[in-house]
Amino acid sequence: MIVFNMYRGDDKKYELEVTDKQTGEPVAINGCTFKFTWKINKSDANYVLQKTVGSGIELTDPDNGVAEITIDAADTSSLTKKTEYYFDIEITKTDTKVETLMEGKFKILMDVS
């Protein structure tokens, strides 16, 4: 399982590279949509944070399968204790097929400042 750590109230950017699972070659993502979601429980219908293309996700080099996810300081600044979330990143391809690219846990750490 993938685990990411970040501090509450920090700005953070994550680069996502979409590649073919068999060849490792980049996959063009022009016209694809992405959803990055945090939840406290995987089975919970409500999400804590969600980013989509145009709202926190940017296709920075779509011909080479590269996107960037931005978490703004405001997204985590109101948290008052160390918190762990489940996350996943989904792509909806131009043929409307949906695939989960990545899943894991996101740990929000408390800063001193």
Considering the entire predicted model, what is its pTM?
A: 0.89
Instruction: Write the pLDDT tens digit of every residue in 8-34.
Output: 999 999 999 999 989 999 999 999 999
User: Is 80 exceeded by the pLDDT of residue 86?
Assistant: yes
Q: Which CATH code is given to the segment(s) 2-109?
A: 2.60.40.10
Amino acid letter, 113: S
User: Is 80 exceeded by the pLDDT of residue 89?
Assistant: yes
The domain ranges of the chain are: 2-109
pLDDT attached to residue 43: 87
First to last CA, the chain: 30
CA 57, CA 96: separation in Å to the nearest integer? 19
Q: The tokens 């949906």 sit on which residue?
A: 98
pLDDT attached to residue 10: 95
